[in-house]
């Protein structure tokens, strides 16, 4: 019709403008649906991979802890002829204690990640709600923040001296 090329009346767009806006909205909606479908299909496959990986890591940590307990770590003063040997052993035990503490923290993060998989929340950034990148999750399956939020957090920590 002649209105499609006629100038718009004040406050109204032409039919062509309205049609273009509708087409753009539809294209945007289709793209969002396709992205969500693709992510959902990929995520089902990847979620199982991450669940297995996290379970393996948890078993490894628990196994190491059981071996350490079976190793009966203790200090017997009769085993060390002088103070230097005793101090060296105490430093070694403190180091092992710090490692155990880190492992306990990692175990807690692994359990939280497994829980998120069960709840359908795994891979969502706890800060912004965006999806955490697959490569980031492959590098650090217990990641809670997307790379942008983690970078921002690290910048803030550096600026505060922590």
Share of the chain above pLDDT 70, in %: 57
- What was the pLDDT predicted at 53? 95
| Dist CA 2 CA 6 (whole Å) | 6
Q: List Cβ<8 Å contacts ≥24 apart for 151-158.
A: 153/127
Backbone angles phi, psi at 131, to 5 degrees: -75, 135
Q: Which residues, 6 or more positions from 103, have their beta carbon under 8 angstroms from its beta carbon?
A: 61, 64, 65
Greatest Cα pair distance, the chain, in angstroms, is: 105
Q: For the segment 94-145, what is each residue's pLDDT rounded down to a tens digit? A: 767 777 888 889 999 999 999 999 998 999 999 999 999 999 999 999 999 9
Average pLDDT of the chain is: 76
Euclidean distance between CA atoms 101 and 61, whole angstroms: 11
Do the Cβ atoms of 15 and 23 come closer than 8 Å? no
pLDDT at 73: 54
Mean pLDDT of 68-83: 60
- Count other Cβ atoms within 10 Å, centred on residue 114: 19
Residue 18: pLDDT band with limits 50, 70, 90: low
Best-predicted range by mean pLDDT among 8-12, 75-79, 142-146? Answer: 142-146
The confidence score (pLDDT) of residue 81 equals 62
Residue 58 to residues 51, 52, 112, 121: CA-CA distances in angstroms?
10, 10, 11, 19
Q: Which residues contact 62 (CB under 8 A, 6 or more apart)?
A: 107
**Can you give the pLDDT at residue 43?**
75
Q: Is 50 exceeded by the pLDDT of residue 1?
A: no
**Which one, of 150, 138, 142, 136, lies nearest residue 115 by Cα?**
142
Q: What is the mean pLDDT of residues 73-84?
A: 58
Contact between 17 and 4 under an 8 Å Cβ cutoff? The reply is no
Q: How far apart are CA 162 and CA 159, in angstroms?
A: 8
Q: Is the pTM of this model over 0.75?
A: no
> Poorest-confidence range of 81-95, 112-126, 146-160?
81-95
Whether the predicted pLDDT of 33 surpasses 60: no
């Amino acid at each position: 019709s002649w209105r499609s090329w006629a100038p718009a009346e004040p406050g109204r767009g032409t039919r062509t403008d309205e049609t273009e806006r509708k087409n753009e909205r539809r294209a945007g909606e289709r793209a969002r649906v396709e992205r969500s479908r693709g992510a959902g299909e990929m995520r089902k496959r990847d979620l199982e991979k991450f669940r297995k990986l996290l379970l393996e890591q948890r078993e490894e940590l628990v196994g190491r802890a059981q071996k350490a307990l079976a190793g009966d770590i203790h200090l017997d003063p009769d085993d060390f002829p002088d103070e230097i040997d005793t101090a060296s052993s105490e430093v070694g035990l403190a180091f092992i204690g710090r490692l155990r503490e880190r492992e306990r923290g990692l175990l807690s993060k692994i359990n939280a990640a497994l829980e998120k998989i069960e709840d359908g929340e795994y891979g969502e950034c706890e800060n912004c709600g965006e999806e955490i990148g697959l490569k980031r999750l492959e590098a650090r399956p217990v990641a809670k923040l997307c790379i942008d939020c983690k970078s921002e957090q690290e910048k803030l920590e550096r600026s505060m001296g922590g």
